[in-house]
Amino acid sequence: MAVKIVRHPKKIALIGAPSSAAAFLAGSEKAPAALRSAGLVEKLQNAGYEVNDLGDCAPRLFADDEEHRRARNLPEIIAGLNELKLRAEVAVKSGALVLVLGGDCAQVIGLLTGARRYYKNLNLLWIDRDADLNTPATTPSGRIDGMVVANIIGKGAPEMVRFWGDGALVREPDVVLFGLERLDPGEQDFLTRSPMRHVYLADIAFKGPSKSAQNALTLVHADTREFIVHLDTDVLDAAELPSVNVPGTAGLKFADARAILQEIVSHKNLLGLDIAQYNPDKDPDGSGAKKLVDLLVAALAARIDSSETTVAAPAAEAGAPAAAATMPEAEASTPADNENAAASDKAAPAKEGMEIASDASPSESSESSEEPADPPEISSSQSSSS
């Protein structure tokens, strides 16, 4: 029997994922605290949200890890994902919109895995300058942040793929890369063969932010499928937000990013959003944190203002409140490079031996009629073990 999830459009479940273990630089582990200090919770409450703060996971820190140069810091990354997954399960089951404050880009895997406990199929809208499709065989840096999408689609570092289980966490046709500008040669080659859809920054500039966001929602099948959004802050123009690990010029202006996010977060089938790569070490006066908080609050305020109604999934819990509408059944499932590269990564020559294979006709996810056990209660002070 499936689990009933009643959506609450005015509730947010907030989780901090203070990790830089997968990143290219130290500092992003401080992002959740910086965004909280910039007034995020209070401003969301003032916008009309009930915020359930599930606290921060234990910090996972950047290290060179010269012993594992092709996939650095894997034990720390996996430990962090295990803790985030538990908190994400609690958050998703509550029916609130899940907001994860990262951290490095790899943290989205914990959010996706938590959501997959209740939703058999998920789509992913990946807002980032970089495709993050490198693998240990192709990476110039060994940083997992440059391999996250490859891991999500079932390729890449075996330890990361096994974190979910067999197969893809999200299928290639169900991933949309939005805001691309920097591609390694192997990533470019892969995208020519993959059913994965992608939208370049230049396309967004040509079509305009709102229209581009509407098209992205169509590509991600938002009207019929639940989806997660990943926002890498390096997609923003460095002239307006320089405090990211790998900044770039001619990115999205804040006004354009606000218009895009307002379109996206207003959609009823959005389950969660994670924000990554903001680095407080590069933001000594805190101005970047304030800008990001204002951006998130302005976008999320549009969700409250939208005309979408609360919907629910068929459930297992006796006496669960009825919902205004019924969503597709949320089945329990068996758990299965931001090569936001530094300049040397992006200048790397064409890579040979790309280990990502196109999956043009992936098999459907298996169904399960077994009801999962309730996720454990999570306190804000809990820390995990690997």
What's the pLDDT tens digit per position in 67-89? 999 999 999 999 999 999 999 99
Question: How far is it, in rounded angstroms, from Cα 368 to Cα 316?
Answer: 13
pLDDT in tens, 175-224: 999 999 999 999 999 999 999 999 999 999 999 999 999 999 999 999 99
Cα separations in angstroms, 211 against 122, 229, 262, 263, 378: 23, 17, 12, 9, 40
> Which of the four pLDDT bands, split at 50, 70 and 90, describes residue 114?
very high
> Rounded to the nearest 5°, which phi and psi values hold at 5?
-125, 115
Cα separations in angstroms, 135 against 63, 140, 266: 19, 10, 34
**144 neighbors 22 (Cβ within 8 angstroms):** yes
Residue 300, pLDDT > 90, answer yes
Q: In this structure, which amino acid lies at residue 245?
A: N
In terms of phi and psi (left: phi > 0; alpha: psi -120 to 50; beta: otherwise), the region of 195 is alpha
Q: Which residue has the higher pLDDT, 271 or 371?
A: 271
pLDDT in tens, 308-336: 444 444 433 333 333 333 334 454 443 33
Question: How far is it, in rounded angstroms, from Cα 261 to Cα 295?
Answer: 9
- The mean pLDDT of 345-356, rounded to a whole number, is 36
Question: How far is it, in rounded angstroms, from Cα 324 to Cα 322?
Answer: 7
Shortest CA distance to 228 belongs to which of 135, 309, 115?
Answer: 115
Residue 282, pLDDT > 70, answer yes
Cα separations in angstroms, 16 against 6, 58, 362: 23, 9, 33
Q: What is the pLDDT of residue 189?
A: 94
User: CB-based contacts of 170: which residues, under 8 Å, 6+ apart?
Assistant: 112, 122, 123, 124, 152, 153
Question: How far is it, in rounded angstroms, from Cα 256 to Cα 205?
Answer: 9
> Which of the four pLDDT bands, split at 50, 70 and 90, describes residue 366?
very low
DSSP state of 252: B
Q: What is the pLDDT of residue 49?
A: 97
| The domain made up of 5-346 is a member of CATH 2.60.120.260 | no
Question: How far is it, in rounded angstroms, from Cα 141 to Cα 135?
Answer: 10
Domain residue spans in the chain? 5-346
Q: What is the pLDDT of residue 377?
A: 52
Whole-prediction pTM: 0.83
